[in-house]
Structure 1
């Protein structure tokens, strides 16, 4: 229980503001890396980057979906104590989804894709990947990107480009994606077009 109580930010107000700015800046500038403040402790299977994002974005009004490896008493207790966010069992009911590894990531269209009237009600997925660089080269275009950009995270699904293209076609509906690793976050908003690099 002690780790649940101590596992939040060292300075809750400052750290959550810093993390919020990092996440918003990552989404405004797709493909760029932004540093996240670390929580005091990882929570069982919940890495620090996912814990930081959970503390920053969720509250009692934001249902959270946890991938199977994150569904533990420690993570549930941490979420309840620090965020008060309800945990849901279906991806389609989640405002935020925390995914511990890519092999636990459902197909993107299983999440809440929002509605034409309320596209902002779609799910934001926070996916822990092994690394944010060193993988296959991908090209991105769209708002917040001058001409085009390159990014190469490790561990995305093999059909990620195709899944993302289908997600992009739903705009203004569709999910947003945050990739986290090594204390950093990278944002991929639904407006971003992604293609294979060469």
Structure 2
């Protein structure tokens, strides 16, 4: 049984002001892929939802935005917390979701399993919010595309091994496709579908002479 404390507490201290602050930060990150944003607001979502993911949830999810939750999140206090603080409905159907949330180490379905939008309405797609172990200590990735001067670098830890392949397939669908927000604790980075991602080349260490 879920406790009333987990359901009713831990939201934004000032819902209107904090949501506006989080929204501006999230839009800045969407406009500048690879730039890491930090949630400095007072927020305490129920485990296993991270702070940045919780801020995104309360900022973007309302009664008009169906939300899909990973199995672990759906069996936690998160659905009740979301219903109380945001009023967003939870849907079991991935294609109906405007937003989908995953906790750290959650199995990630194929990106194509979610709503991809249409040629006429590409915005009718799902945005995936994926919690990872870190944005700085994992596989180095290079980002290119709109909003990026030359390249930007991130190093998320914990993405599936086939994420880059799936992301390339997602990009080929443009203007259709999903957008992704990676979160780690209080930090987040946005990966809009226009962003091209490749593995960063690792410099070889010269062989020692002698």
TM-score grouping bracket, smaller chain normalisation = over 0.9
CA RMSD of aligned residues (A): 1.3
SS of 1:78's partner is: helix
2:182 aligns to what SS in structure 1?
strand
1:69 aligns with 2:72: yes
SS at match of 1:179: strand
Does the 8 Å contact 2:39/2:51 carry over to 1?
no
- Whole-Å separation in 2 of the counterparts to 1:158 and 1:75: 28
Corresponding residue number in structure 2 for 1:144 = 147
CA, structure 1 residues 39+85, in 2 after alignment: closer, same or farther (shift >3 Å)?
farther
C-alpha distance in 2 between matches for 1:46 and 1:139: 27
Count of aligned residue pairs for this structure pair = 198
| Conservation of the 8 A alpha-carbon contact between 2:43 and 2:55 | no
2:160 and 2:16 mapped to 1: Cα distance?
35
The aligned residue for residue 19 of structure 2 is 16
Distance 1:169 1:154 in 2: 25
* Alpha-carbon distance in 1 for matches of 2:89, 2:174: 27
CA distance in 2, matches of 1:15, 1:44: 21
- Per-residue deviation at 1:41? 2.0
Q: CA deviation at 1:22?
A: 1.2
Task: Give secondary structure in 2 for the equivalent of 1:150.
Answer: strand
Q: In the alignment, what sits opposite 2:208?
A: none
- Given the alignment, which residue of 86, 105, 111 partners 1:83? 86
**8 Å CA contact retained: 2:101, 2:130:** yes
Normalised by the length of structure 2, the TM-score is 0.90
Shift of 1:48: 2.0
Question: Structure 2 unaligned runs (5+)?
Answer: 202-210
Q: Deviations over 1:53-73 (max 9, x none)?
A: 110001001000001110125
Q: Distance in 1 between matches of 2:196 and 2:105?
A: 20
Structure with more helix by fraction: 1
- TM-score computed with the length of structure 1 as normaliser: 0.95
Choose the corresponding residue for 1:188, options 175, 187, 191.
191
Rounded Cα–Cα distance in structure 2 between residues aligned with 1:105 and 1:138 = 19
- For residues 69-121 of structure 1, give each alpha carbon's deviation from its aligned partner in whole angstroms, at most 9, with x where no partner exists: 10125211111111111101122111000111344211100010001111001
